[in-house]
Amino acid sequence: MTSPAAPSSFPSGLPSSPGAHVRAVHDDFHGDLLEVSMGPHHPSTHGVFRMIVTLDGERIVRLKPVFGYLHRNHEKLGEQTTYLASMPYTDRLDYLNSMTNNWAYAIAVEKLAGQAVPERAEYVRVILAELTRLLNHTCLAGFLLQDTGCSGTPLMYAFREREKILDLFESLSGSRMMCNFQRFGGCRLDPTPEWLAAVRQLVDGYGRFLDEFEALISGNEIVMARTQGTGVLTPALAISAGVTGPMLRATGVDYDLRKVDGYGVYPRFEFRVPLGAHGDTYDRYMIRILEMRESIQILRQALRDLPAGPILDPKAKNRGFRPKPGEAYGRIEGPKGEIGFYLISDGSPNPFRYRVRPPSFVNLTILEDMCLGQTVADAVIILGSIDIVLGEVDR
C-alpha cells in the first residue's frame, strides 16, 4: 500500500492511475472536499434516510444525517385519539417490534392509572418480548451481513427464522407484524396450549440455527477484517449520548433495564447480560448473537413456569378509559434499546401529552462521531449496526 507521503509513484493525469477521475485525491492527496448525499433512496439506509457525507479522499470528515421523510406526527395523533386507540399506532413505530412497543405503551398507561397486571399476562408478555428480541436481532444480523456485501445468503437464513416467529405472532394475534396485542392490565387474548407447544418447539430449535449462523459468520475472516475496529464507540460518549440497548452494552457498560428496573417478572428469571469490550461493529454484532442465546434461556424458563389464571385484569377498563390527572414515564428494554412513553393526563379520554422516547432516534445522535475518519463503505455497516427503523426515527 502506498503511503500518502509518497504519491509520486503514480504520475497524475494518467487515466489508469488510481483516483485520476476523482478530484479530491488528484493533486497530491490534498484535494477539495467532496460532498456526497447518500440516500434517501438507497438500499443500505434501511428505509428513507439520508446522510450528507463530506469526504476527504475516501475518509469521512463530516456526516450529517437527514431524516423525517416518514414523519406523520405520531405524537399529535396520539393526543387526538383515546388511550386505547393509540395502541395499534404503536405497532407502526418500529414495525419489527410491535409486541415490545405495545408493552412499553401499556406499562406507561398502567403506571399512569395504577393498573395491576395478572401474573399470567406478565409471563405471556415476557415470552412475546423475548420472541421479538430473537426476531429483531436475527433480522439485524442478516441485514448487517447484507450491508458488508455478503449478499443474500445470511439475510435469507435470517428471514427463514424470522418467518417462523411471525407465523407464531400471526396465529396468536391475527397479524404478522401489526400485532396490537397488549391491553392496559393484561393481554388481548389467551395463548392456547397448542400455541405454547409451537413456541417451545421453535425455542428448542433456535439454538441450532444460531450455531449454524455463527459457524458461517462469527469466525469468518472477511467479516472480522471488515467489522473489527470500525465505528468504535467509547463508553463515556455512549453514556453521555443516551445510547441504550445492545449498542451501549457492546461498549462494556452494564445497563439492561430488565435487570435495572426489573419490570414485569424479569427478576424471576436467570439470565446474563452480555457485554462487549471494544465497542466496534463486530462487538455490536456479537452482543446480539449472545443476547439471543440468553433470550432462549428466558423463554425456556417462562414457558416452564407459565401460571394459569386470567390474562386480563377483570377490573381493567380499556374502553371509556379516563385516568386521573397526573403524569407517568414508563420504559422497557426493547430490542433496540430503551423504548419509553411519557404521558400526561388531564382527566379526559385523550392524553394531554403523548411522547415516545424512540431508541433508534437517540442512538443516531452519535452516528457522525462513529463515522469520522472511516470510509464510506464503513459508514454503511456502522449505520447498519446501530439498528434503526425509520418508522420509529421519524414518527
Partner 1 sequence: MESLEQIRERLLARFPDAALTVIANPGPAGQPSLLVGSPHAASIAAFLRDDPALRLDYCSNVTGVDWPDREVVETIKRTVPPPPPAAPADPSAPPVTPKVIEEKVKRHIPGYFEVVYHLYSMALKHGPVILRTRTADRTDPASLPSLTPIWRACEFQEREVYDLFGIRFTGHPDLRRILMWDEFKDYPMRKDYVEPDDYEWEPTPHGAVLDKARRHYPAPPESR
Report the nearest approach of partner 1 to the CB of residue 17 (Å). Answer: 39
Straight-line distance from the first to the last Cα atom of the chain, in angstroms, rounded to the nearest whole number: 46
Q: Which positions lie near partner 1, rule CB under 8 A?
A: 67-68, 71, 73, 75-76, 111-114, 237, 239-244, 253, 255, 260, 323-329, 331, 338, 340, 342, 344-345, 353, 355, 357, 361-362, 364-366, 394-395
Shortest Cβ 241–partner 1 spacing (Å): 4
Q: Nearer Cβ to partner 1, position 31 or 326?
A: 326
Q: Which is nearer to partner 1, 281 or 360 (CB)?
A: 360
- Rounded to the nearest whole angstrom, what is the least distance from the CB of residue 116 to partner 1 in the complex? 11
Given the complex with partner 1, which of 172 and 233 has the nearer CB atom? 233
Task: Please return the burial class of 373, using the count of CB atoms within 10 Å of its CB with bins 0-12, 13-18 and 19+.
Answer: exposed
| Radius of gyration, CA atoms only, the chain | 23
Least distance from partner 1 to the Cβ atom of residue 361, Å: 6
DSSP letter at 307 equals: P
Residue among 81 and 180 whose Cβ is closer to partner 1: 81
Alpha helices in the chain (DSSP H): 74-80, 87-91, 98-113, 119-147, 153-173, 193-217, 221-227, 235-240, 246-249, 257-260, 281-305, 359-363, 367-371, 376-386, 390-394
d(CA 354, CA 159): 34
Q: Kindly state the smallest distance separating residue 104's Cβ from partner 1, in Å.
A: 12
Please say which residue, 23 or 71, places its beta carbon nearer to partner 1. Answer: 71
**343 vs 72: CA distance, rounded Å:** 19
Nearer to partner 1, 19 or 326 (CB): 326
The nearest distance, CB 68 to partner 1, in angstroms, is: 4
Cell 509520486: give the residue: 8
Torsion over CA: 218, 221, 227, 230 (sign):
positive
Q: Which of 327, 225, 242 is nearest to 281 (CA)?
A: 225
Smaller CB separation from partner 1, 66 or 189: 66
- Measured in whole angstroms, the distance separating CA 350 from the mean position of its chain's CA atoms is 29
Least Å distance, CB 377 to partner 1, is: 25
